[in-house]
Amino acid sequence: MAANRSVKRSIKTDKRNYLETLATEAEEAAYQKGTKDMYSITKILAGKFAKP
């Protein structure tokens, strides 16, 4: 049970770090007027992305 909890915690922290890096990349793209990059990152963050 303890191992299961630690795995779930690590998954949560990994997901949080991933989303934070994506948000940072979106902010940089907005600053540099990279609208295509910003739009695609925003779609990923919103959960609205097509799987090929």
Tens-place pLDDT, residues 8-50: 999 999 999 998 998 898 888 888 888 888 888 888 888 876 6
d(CA 34, CA 4): 41
Task: Give the number of other Cβ atoms within 10 Å of residue 36's Cβ.
Answer: 8
39's torsion region: left (phi>0), alpha (psi -120 to 50) or beta? Answer: alpha
For the cut 60, the answer to whether the pLDDT of residue 52 exceeds it is no
Judge if pTM exceeds 0.85: no
Host H or E run for residue 6: helix 2-31
Residues 6+ apart with CB under 8 A from 44: 22
